[in-house]
């Protein structure tokens, strides 16, 4: 999968035992007002070297930590194709999660080495603390999509004092519930279209839960095709590996990390990280404002599941936004809606960071 354009600075960063820094403290990376930030390098997170990328036009801006999806699909190869316009208002922090991208390449796990939601959550919290210390903030804005929305929610619940707001897109709430609705809706669409090939493949799978780890991929290939019929496509060039990532070695690491992470997600017999995801088990009380964005044509994390969860949760402020002509995968409509949600969260972030 080819995915776009990032210039890596090759800066080696390190983190030891860092303490939370207030906005008045001298920040290691923000010494001058209006200073631009472009960093890319390995940071010691969770006992291993993990790839962290930071971009922003002014280091005084609020920090957004973006939690990528997949698992195994880092945004870093194409981040500046998609998020570059956000850099005037925010400092964007991303990392290739354990088992993904450059982090995978630097720490090749054995095939049977476990990848757990607990370890990834701890990594995400540590990345957040690193960003807070490095850029002299009190908190950051947290954003996650798809798998990243489930991981980000775990982070928000584990360390609520670190986050100004949470912005979730294509919210994964309960793997089993999402999968059942996805299967039912996709089969209904295939039946309505008299799509005999898709019907045969779906009926051969049977309704979930499944023990075949390949079943999810079969369903997703069909559901993505139906989403594409009613969704606005992404701009050309968004998902092409950019400079520093467009090498055979990186592409091999990306693909291997994607395979490793996704197998850990589904599990060999419906026993991976995904089948255990049930966000209600974490509690329904968010300590920060919540913005939930949902593609109306999303067949992976369908609206009826995410909306029911949203209606149950409590937060200082919560907003649900339905996105027309949008499925599960990013397009311009989704990215624009994310930016608008971040701008809404920005005013409070600026006020809090200067206290």
Q: For residues 256 and 140, what is the distance between their CA atoms, to the nearest angstrom?
A: 31
Report the phi/psi class of residue 243: left, alpha or beta, with left for phi > 0 and alpha for psi in -120 to 50: beta
pTM of the predicted structure, to 2 decimals: 0.92
Q: What percent of the chain has pLDDT over 90?
A: 86
- Catalogue the E-assigned strands of the chain: 37-45, 48-56, 63-67, 91-95, 140-145, 163-169, 290-295, 318-323
Query: What would the pLDDT profile of 10-65 be if each residue is shown by its tens digit?
Result: 333 333 333 333 333 447 888 888 899 999 999 999 999 999 999 999 999 999 99
* Residues facing residue 43 across a β-bridge: 50
pLDDT at position 17: 34
pLDDT in tens, 123-149: 999 999 999 999 999 999 999 999 999
Taking only the tens place, the pLDDT of each residue in 148-174 is 999 999 999 999 999 999 999 999 999
Give the angle 175-342-294 at the CA atoms, nearest 5°: 35
- The full length of the chain comes to 355
The neighbour count for residue 49, using CB atoms within 10 Å, is 18
pLDDT tier at 348 (50, 70, 90 boundaries)? confident
Residues 6 or more apart from 332 whose CB is under 8 A from it?
232, 234, 235
Tell me, what's the pLDDT at 68? 98
What is the pLDDT, as a whole number, of residue 3?
Answer: 33
**pLDDT band at residue 354 under the 50/70/90 scheme:** low
Per residue in 84-113, pLDDT tens?
999 999 999 999 999 999 999 999 999 889
Q: What's the whole-number mean pLDDT along residues 208-227? A: 97
Q: Is the model's pLDDT at 353 over the cut of 80?
A: no
Percent residues over pLDDT 70 in the chain: 92
Cis peptide before 214 (omega within 30 of 0): no
DSSP output for 307-329: HHHHHH-B-SSEEEEEETT--SS
Residue 8 near residue 53, CB atoms below 8 Å: yes
Q: 37-178+230-353 has which fold?
A: Rossmann fold (3.40.50)
Task: Kindly state the average pLDDT of the residues 285-299.
Answer: 99
């Amino acid at each position: 999968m080819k995915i776009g354009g990032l210039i890596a600075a090759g800066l080696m960063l390190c983190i030891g035992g860092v303490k939370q820094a207030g906005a008045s403290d001298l920040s290691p990376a923000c010494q001058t007002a209006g200073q631009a930030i472009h960093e890319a390098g390995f940071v010691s997170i969770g006992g291993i070297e993990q790839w962290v990328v930071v971009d922003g036009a002014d280091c005084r801006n609020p920090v957004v930590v973006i939690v990528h999806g997949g698992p195994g699909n880092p945004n870093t190869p194409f981040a500046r194709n998609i998020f570059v316009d956000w850099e005037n208002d925010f400092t964007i922090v991303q990392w290739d999660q354990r088992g993904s991208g450059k982090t995978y390449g630097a720490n090749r796990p054995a095939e049977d080495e476990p990848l757990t939601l607990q370890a990834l959550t701890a990594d995400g919290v540590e990345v957040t603390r690193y960003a807070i210390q490095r850029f002299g903030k009190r908190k950051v804005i947290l954003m996650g999509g798809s798998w990243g929305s489930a991981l980000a929610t775990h982070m928000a619940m584990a360390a609520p004092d670190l986050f100004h707001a949470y912005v979730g897109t294509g919210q994964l709430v309960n793997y089993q519930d999402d999968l059942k609705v996805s299967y039912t809706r996709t089969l209904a669409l295939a039946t309505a279209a008299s799509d005999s090939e898709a019907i045969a493949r779906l009926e051969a799978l049977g309704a979930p839960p499944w023990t075949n780890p390949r079943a999810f991929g079969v369903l997703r290939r069909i559901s993505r095709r139906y989403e594409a019929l009613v969704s606005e496509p992404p701009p050309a060039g968004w998902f092409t590996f950019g400079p520093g990532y467009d090498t055979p070695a990186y592409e091999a690491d990306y693909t291997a990390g994607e395979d490793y992470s996704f197998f850990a997600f589904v599990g060999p017999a419906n026993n991976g990280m995904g089948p255990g995801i049930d966000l209600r088990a974490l509690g329904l009380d968010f300590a920060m404002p919540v913005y939930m964005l949902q593609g109306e044509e999303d067949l992976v994390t369908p609206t009826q599941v995410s909306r029911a969860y949203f209606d149950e949760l409590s937060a200082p402020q919560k907003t649900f936004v339905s996105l027309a002509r949008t499925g599960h995968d990013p397009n311009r409509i989704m990215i624009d809606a994310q930016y608008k949600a971040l701008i809404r969260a920005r005013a409070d972030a600026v006020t809090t960071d200067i206290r």
